[in-house]
Chains A and B, each alone.
Chain A
Amino acid sequence: MDTRDQFRTNVLTSGHRACAGCGEAMAARMVTDLIGPDAIYINATGCLQVFTTHNQQSAWQAPWMHSVFANSAAVASGVEAALRARGRSTPVVVQAGDGGTFDIGLQCLSGMIERGHDVLFVCYDNEAYMNTGVQRSSSTPHAVRTTTSPPGRLSEGKHHLKKDVISIIAAHHMPYAATATVAYFPDLKAKVEKAMSLKGPRFLQVLSPCPLGWDHDAALTVQISRLAVETGLFPLIEMEYGDVTGVMRLARQRPIEDYLHLQGRFKHLFGHQNDNGNVEIRHLQALADARIQRYGLLDAETEWTTASAAQTERHGRGGYSISAVKQEVSS
Chain B
Amino acid sequence: MSNLSIEPGSTTAYHTGEWRQQRPVYRDKWPPCGQSCPASEDIQAYLALASNKEWEAAWRKITERNPLPGVTGRVCHHPCETSCNRTQLDTSINIHGVERFLGDLAHEKGWRHERFTEVSQPQKVAVVGAGPAGLSCAFQLARRGYPVTIFDAMSAPGGTLRSAIPDYRLPKSVLSGEIDAILALGIELRLDTRIGQELSEQSLQDDFDAVFLAIGALKPRSFSSIDKSDHSVMSGTDFLQKINRGKSLSLPKQVAVIGGGNTAIDVARCARRLGAQVTVVCSQDRPGSHHGHADAQMPALPQEAMHAEAEGVRILFRTGVRRLVRNGQHLSGVEISRVDQVHDRQGRFNPVLFEGTETFLSAGLVIFAIGQEVNKSGLENLMKDGELGVIIGGDAAGKPRFAATAIGSGYQSAMSIIAYLTGIPPVYENHQKTDVTYKDLHTQYYPLLPRQDELMTEDRLSDFTEIVKGFSQGETLCEASRCLSCGVCFDCDNCWHFCPDAAVIKKPNGYEIDYNYCKGCGICALECPSGHIDMQREVG
Residues of A that sit less than 8 Å from B by CB: 1-2, 4-8, 10, 12-23, 25-26, 29-30, 52, 54-59, 61, 182, 185, 211, 217-223, 226, 303-307, 309-310, 312-317, 322, 325-326, 328-330
Contacts and interface: CB of A to CB of B under 8 A. Distances in A.
Given A30-B497, A55-B4, A56-B9, A21 B445 contact: no
B155 to A, nearest CB: 44
Interface stretch (B14-22, B281-289, B302-310, B457-465): B14-22
Contacts of B174: none
Nearest to A22: B500
Given A226-B444, A317-B52, A14 B12 contact: yes
B445 A329 contact: no
A5 B505 contact: yes
Given A14-B514, A15-B15, A59-B11, A325 B502 contact: no
B493 A315 contact: yes
B7 interface: yes
A219 B21 CA distance: 13
B9 A25 contact: no
Contact of A304 (B448, B481, B494): B448
Contacts of B272: none
B338 to A, nearest CB: 50
A317 B490 contact: yes
Those 10 A-B pairs whose CB atoms lie nearest each other, nearest first? A316-B491, A219-B522, A15-B11, A21-B521, A14-B517, A329-B474, A20-B519, A20-B521, A25-B500, A218-B521
A322 B449 contact: yes
Contacts of A20: 19-20, 500, 519-521
B525 interface: yes
Contact of A21 (B9, B11, B522, B529): B522
Contact of A12 (B19, B445, B478, B502): B502
B8 A56 contact: yes
Interface of B: 4-16, 19-20, 52, 444-449, 474-475, 477-478, 481, 490-494, 496-503, 505-508, 514, 516-517, 519-523, 525-527, 529
Contact of A303 (B10, B447, B519, B527): B447
Contacts of B16: 14-17
Nearest to A323: B447
Nearest to A303: B447
Contacts of B474: 328-330
A316 B493 contact: yes
26 contacts: A2-B10, A2-B502, A8-B502, A13-B12, A14-B12, A14-B503, A15-B11, A17-B14, A20-B20, A56-B7, A57-B10, A185-B497, A185-B498, A219-B521, A219-B525, A219-B526, A220-B526, A222-B498, A306-B444, A306-B445, A313-B446, A313-B494, A314-B492, A315-B492, A325-B478, A330-B474
A302 B135 CA distance: 50
A23 B500 contact: yes
Nearest to B501: A14
A29 B527 CA distance: 17
B506 A8 contact: yes
B66 to A, nearest CB: 26
A304 B499 CA distance: 25
B13 A223 contact: no
Nearest to B506: A7
A112 B475 CA distance: 54
Given A219-B522, A306-B444, A317-B490, 16 more contacts: A6-B508, A8-B506, A14-B501, A15-B13, A15-B15, A18-B500, A20-B19, A20-B20, A23-B500, A59-B12, A61-B10, A221-B521, A304-B447, A310-B447, A313-B445, A329-B478
Contact of A5 (B11, B444, B502, B523): B502
B492 A15 contact: no
A29 B490 contact: no
Contacts of B493: 312, 315-316
Contacts of B499: 26, 29
Contacts of A313: 445-446, 492, 494, 529
B10 A29 contact: no
B186 to A, nearest CB: 38
A305 B481 CA distance: 19
Contacts of B527: 222-223
B7 to A, nearest CB: 7
A16 B501 contact: yes
A254 to B, nearest CB: 11
A187 to B, nearest CB: 12
A58 B491 contact: no
B308 to A, nearest CB: 32
A317 B11 CA distance: 32
Contacts of A222: 498, 523, 526-527
A158 to B, nearest CB: 26
A316 B403 CA distance: 37
B447 A58 contact: no
Given A59-B11, A309-B444, A328 B502 contact: no
A328 B523 contact: no
A23 B11 CA distance: 19
Nearest to A15: B11
B514 A218 contact: no
B149 to A, nearest CB: 45
Given A20-B19, A221-B523, A57 B13 contact: yes
Contacts of A12: 502
Contacts of A226: 444
Residue of A14, A17, A23 with most chain B CB atoms under a 10 A cut-off: A14
B506 A322 contact: no
B522 A58 contact: no
A312 B497 contact: yes
A185 B497 CA distance: 8
Contact of A223 (B490, B500, B520, B526): B526
B9 A57 contact: yes
A29 B481 contact: no
In the complex, which of the residues A21, A185, A313 has the most CB atoms of chain B within 10 Å of its own CB atom? A313
Nearest to B510: A316
A105 B271 CA distance: 85
B492 A26 contact: no
Contacts of B501: 14, 16, 18, 25
Contacts of A26: 498-500, 523
Given A8-B506, A314-B492, A55 B526 contact: no
B500 A29 contact: yes
A5 B4 CA distance: 24
A174 to B, nearest CB: 29
Contacts of A2: 10, 12, 502
A55 B447 contact: no
Contacts of A329: 474-475, 477-478
B502 A10 contact: yes
Contact of B523 (A56, A219, A312): A219
